[in-house]
Amino acid sequence: MLIRLLETITKPRLSSRFLVLAFAAAMMAGCATAPDSNDPEAVAEYQEINDPAEPTMRAIFAFNQALDTAILKPVSNAYRQTAPEKVRTGVHNFLNHLRTPVIFFNDVLQGEFENAITTLVRFLINTTAGLFGLNDTASDLGIEFKNEDFGQTLAVWNMPEGPYLMLPVFGPSNPRDAIGRVVDFFIDPLNIWARNNNEDWTIPTRTAVDAVDFRALHYDAIEDLEKSSLDFYATIRSLYRQRRTDEINNGKVDPSTAVPSIGQFFDDNQEKSANDEISQNR
Amino acid sequence: MKICPRMLSFLPALIVFAGLSFSPHQSLSASFEEEATTFVQNLAEKAIRELTDKNKPRDERIDQFRTYFNDHFAVSGIGKWILGRHWRKANEAERAEYLQLFEDLMVVSYVDRFAAYVGEPLHIHKSLVQDDNNVTVYSDIHQEEGGAAVRVDWRVGRKDDLLKIVDVVVEGTSMSNTLRSDFGSIIRQRGGKVAGLLEALREKTAKLRENDG
């Protein structure tokens, strides 16, 4: 889903040139067809989907999928088949540990001071008892990992998400999350250290390991999803948005989520009356 | 007893208090909550008991899962909700075929993974009444393979004495909502016609049925 491997094989300059090319090619694919303005339901649906450059985004998605099939998927599969579970868990824990400063920073920016303290305590426990983050001792003690990022911070600050975006290599996003990504990159102490000390290898290595860890962890879920969905692109778009909303709300149920009401589930009369309404309107 | 004005001033508070403690709605919803929790617990246990036998032929497992799915999920209700406004445009034949294909799709997609998923220990930690007929039961499923617990919310609906799952929400992502986007997108691409969706569903279910595991 999040394909981030290419960054590892392309130098920054090359990758920016590549992005421009991909973007130019994608722009030629064009924009989504606006719905019939006489059909208010179709207009509402179009606005809800909020994917004005859909054909372009689909072209980028196809490119990302090709990249996944060629590189990330086989590498992740080999990784989960060969590396022992203990190793994979250690790698996953260590990657989460490296994110701690960014999480802490965003906890503070969101005014979540209790979470900020939790993040700090986790960092201390896992650095010491957890052997530099290889073990998630804090979670074993009931202090669980909670991710935050600057995209979520912007959402807490009431910035709207904007239209759906499919980023080349990086996968599903929106302007808010794309900005968040860039900000997180620049405030990450590890990245600052790498840049200041010319340790060029660290950033791409971490990005690659992160991508493989994510893909391997969700390997079956992604395969199942691709297999059973009719339109994988639309499925990913929906899942990405729901997942982000959940993360922004810190897992608390969003009351505005459309809940299928039981009336619709058992009561056929309701459907009939809805039907009559429609025929009367026409 | 003589009623003085001072006592009367307590009356509204008294009435509110009495209303709260003896409200039939509250006691009903409390038992509805318990009922829904038991329902989800049983559903998980039944999945482990009946759906985990990998040695059975796949056709047999498909039949068994179909029965299980219809017993515990509001299949046609979910199907209708997913189709949304397009349900009204569909004719009788299209509706009937759609509901059958939707059930088929769910059965052939989930037969190989539902049991594996719910087969892990399920911890129910909370339930919340939305209204008289809807309860959400919150659970964590601890996966076998080292990963963190997965948050699964079960939306349980009630009609008379019948309880059914109306949605499953995994880590904040609703199964019904996701399918609604998926199906809606196909309909839009195929000229806004339900017939286009039926065509896609026919192809997909046939493919998944052949696909072993």
Averaged over successive runs of 10 residues, the pLDDT of chain B (213 residues) comes to 50 47 51 89 85 81 91 92 91 95 93 70 85 87 71 89 90 92 94 94 92 60
B90-99 core/surface letters (b: 16 or more CB in 10 A; e: else): beeebbebbb
What percent of chain A has pLDDT above 70? 79
- Which of A259, A268, A281 to mutate to probe the B interface, most B CBs <10 Å? A259
CB nearest to B200's CB, from A230, A257, A258: A230
Query: Of A135, A151, A134, which is closest to residue A187 (Cα–Cα)?
Result: A151
Measured between beta carbons, which residues in chain A are less than 8 angstroms from residue B200? 230
Q: Where are the alpha helices (DSSP H) in chain A?
A: 6-9, 12-27, 40-49, 54-67, 73-82, 85-109, 113-128, 137-140, 150-156, 175-187, 189-196, 202-217, 219-228, 232-248, 262-266, 268-281
Give the count of domains, chain B.
1
Q: List the domain range (segments joined by +) for residue B111.
A: 5-119+176-206
A48 touches chain B (CB under 8 A): no
Q: pLDDT per residue over A57-113, tens digit each?
A: 999 999 999 999 999 999 999 999 999 989 999 999 999 999 999 999 999 999 999
Measured between beta carbons, which residues in chain B are less than 8 angstroms from residue A229? 182
- Bridge partners (DSSP) listed for residue B128: B136
Minimal-distance CA residue of chain A relative to B196: A230
Query: Residue A200 has what pLDDT?
Result: 83
Read out DSSP for A144-173? ------HHHHHHHTT----S-EEETTTEEE
Identify the residue whose tokens are 């499919």: A166
Mean pLDDT of chain A: 82
Q: Is B199 within the bounds of a domain?
A: yes
Query: Residue B61 has what pLDDT?
Result: 87
Residue A68 per-residue DSSP state: I
Minimal-distance CA residue of chain B relative to A251: B172
Measured between beta carbons, which residues in chain A are less than 8 angstroms from residue B136? 253
Of residues B180 and A259, more confidence is placed in: B180
B137 phi/psi in degrees, rounded to 5: -105, 120
Q: What is the ipTM of this complex?
A: 0.82
Minimal-distance CA residue of chain A relative to B150: A251
Distance of CA A128 to the CA centre of its chain: 30
Q: pLDDT per residue over B64-83, tens digit each?
A: 999 999 999 999 999 999 99
CB nearest to A278's CB, from B88, B164, B167: B88
| pLDDT for A208 beyond 70 | yes
Query: Residue A281 has what pLDDT?
Result: 37
Q: Do B148 and A265 touch (CB under 8 A)?
A: no
Measured between beta carbons, which residues in chain B are less than 8 angstroms from residue A274? 88
pLDDT classification of A47: cutoffs 50, 70, 90: confident
**How many Cβ atoms sit within 10 Å of the Cβ of residue B42?**
12
Query: Residue B55 has what pLDDT?
Result: 78
A214 phi/psi in degrees, rounded to 5: -65, -45
Q: Is B132 within the bounds of a domain?
A: no
Q: Do A266 and B105 touch (CB under 8 A)?
A: no
B142 touches chain A (CB under 8 A): no
Of residues A136 and B17, more confidence is placed in: A136
Q: Is A49 within the bounds of a domain?
A: no
Query: Residue A259 has what pLDDT?
Result: 59
**How many Cβ atoms sit within 10 Å of the Cβ of residue A192?**
13
Of residues A8 and A40, more confidence is placed in: A40
Q: Is A129 within the bounds of a domain?
A: yes
Q: pLDDT per residue over A153-191, tens digit each?
A: 999 999 999 999 999 999 999 999 999 999 999 999 999
Query: Residue B19 has what pLDDT?
Result: 45
Identify the residue whose tokens are 């391997």: A216
Q: Do B181 and A217 touch (CB under 8 A)?
A: no
Nearest-angstrom CA–CA distance, A36 and B168:
34
Measured between beta carbons, which residues in chain A are less than 8 angstroms from residue B144? none
Q: Is A135 within the bounds of a domain?
A: yes
C-alpha angle A41-A42-A48 in degrees, rounded to nearest 5 = 90
Query: Of B51, B47, B62, which is closest to residue B108 (Cα–Cα)?
Result: B62
Q: Is A207 within the bounds of a domain?
A: no
Q: Is A265 within the bounds of a domain?
A: no
Q: Is B138 within the bounds of a domain?
A: no
Q: Is B30 within the bounds of a domain?
A: yes
Sheet architecture: strand order including B134-141: B122-131, B134-141, B150-159, B162-170, B173-174
Of residues A4 and A259, more confidence is placed in: A259
Query: Of B128, B125, B144, which is closest to residue B136 (Cα–Cα)?
Result: B128
Q: Residue type at B61?
A: R
Q: Is A12 within the bounds of a domain?
A: no
Minimal-distance CA residue of chain B relative to A217: B147
Give the count of domains, chain A.
1
A117 touches chain B (CB under 8 A): no
- Lookup: tokens for A199: 């340790």
Nearest-angstrom CA–CA distance, A252 and A246:
7
Nearest-angstrom CA–CA distance, B182 and B169:
16
Nearest-angstrom CA–CA distance, A271 and B97:
17
Q: List the domain range (segments joined by +) for residue A129.
A: 100-148
User: Is residue B171 helix, strand or coil?
Assistant: coil
Q: Is B84 within the bounds of a domain?
A: yes
Query: Residue B59 has what pLDDT?
Result: 86
